[in-house]
Structure 1
Amino acid sequence: MDLAQQALTEGRFLPVAELNEATRDAFVRLLAPAVENAPWICERVAASRPFDGPVAVLDAIGTVIRSAPRDDQIRLLRGHPELAGREAAAGTMTAASTTEQGRLGLDRLPAPALAALVEGNRAYRERFGFPYVVALRRRATLDEVFDDLNRRLGQPPDAELATALNEVIAVTSGRLSLLLGPFDIP
């Protein structure tokens, strides 16, 4: 188990100083749990060191995501699993996604709710070309998730791309707070 996974498992926080002092490869490995299936983001963020705290790390991640070419942004979004989708059924989601989806019971949905979510995922992916991504930690109930999904299905594609990227940054923020320690986002 690497240092980042150990920190997450044991509830201890990874000091930002360790990120600053790590080799490029170690930096990518340490930060990877915060960014879903996108080590390329960590590689680009490494060039922004040193960081003075978790907010600076999050800001650097947000800058990389927002300034990435559109193809990279789409690749980032496509690296996220659908809610209660095939990755969940196959057991291939990251530990962080499994925990996040489990909190709202997405791993044990009754058949009608699962069917509605599968249909919502299909409609969203068909409309936008990437999966619906939402920072589940900011949603208290499954109804809030369905309301958000339905609202976002009506957005123009460019607006939805921006919304989806902001949700990725919010997901990353929550994961960074578990990895580096709680912090306030200005």
Structure 2
Amino acid sequence: MLLAIQTLSSLDRATFVAMLEGVFEHSPWVAERAWAQRPFADLPELELALINSMLSATAAEQLALIRAHPELAGKAAIAGELTAESTREQAGARLDACTPAEFARLQALNASYTARFGFPFILAVRGFDRAAIIECFAARLANTAEDEFSEALRQIARIASLRLRERFIS
């Protein structure tokens, strides 16, 4: 269902949050905080309000948001427990069609990354193939925890932007 910004801006808080479910993985508080900034003139204004809500959150809230994201080709994907949005994105990057070697590499990277940083690797995978995802994943293991925390938030903002654009009438 495609939405118009004017329609979204007119909704009560609960309906507004419900209409944005899935934009930020298991984190309705981001939309709840952005609701107060209505009305939104256009999609970029809504996107900015949502991103600012995320960025102005406490470090603990941001960490919870990061941890709400699934591993790439991880346990939740194998068990069929991803959100519809994550399922579509991972399938679009063909992570559901990994070779045994690619799958083993992703599992090892997931384990190493989580052990090093304490949260899952996050990448807006649209436009990446499996080889590029694995290469990026391996390269980011060399980052500092502070840099990777910031990068995770940047990737979440990119994911949210892509998800928003799928839902709205231009």
In structure 2, what is the Cα distance between the partners aligned to 1:19 and 1:33?
Answer: 15
Identity %: 34
Q: What TM-score, normalized to structure 2?
A: 0.96
Instruction: Report the equivalent of 2:87.
Output: 98
Is 1:84 aligned with 2:90?
Answer: no
How far the C-alpha of 1:133 sits from its partner, in A, is 0.7
Is 1:166 aligned with 2:154?
Answer: yes
Aligned-partner residue type, residue 176 of structure 1: L
Cα contact 2:93–2:127 (8 A) shared by 1: no
Cα contact 1:34–1:179 (8 A) shared by 2: no
How far the C-alpha of 1:18 sits from its partner, in A, is 1.3
User: When you count helix as a share of all residues, which structure comes out higher?
Assistant: 1
Is 1:151 aligned with 2:162?
Answer: no
Instruction: Report the equivalent of 2:8.
Output: 19
Unaligned 5+ runs, structure 2: none
How far the C-alpha of 1:92 sits from its partner, in A, is 1.1
Count of residues in Structure 1 that have an aligned counterpart in Structure 2? 170
Q: RMSD value over aligned CA atoms? A: 1.1
Is 1:126 aligned with 2:115?
Answer: yes
Secondary structure of the 1:34 match is: coil
How far the C-alpha of 1:107 sits from its partner, in A, is 1.1
Q: What TM-score, normalized to structure 1?
A: 0.88
How far the C-alpha of 1:138 sits from its partner, in A, is 3.9
Which of 37, 50, 61 is the equivalent residue of 1:72?
Answer: 61
In structure 2, what is the Cα distance between the partners aligned to 1:34 and 1:180?
Answer: 12
Cα contact 2:30–2:53 (8 A) shared by 1: yes
Is 1:63 aligned with 2:55?
Answer: no
Post-superposition, which runs of at least 4 consecutive aligned residues in structure 1 deviate over 3 A?
none
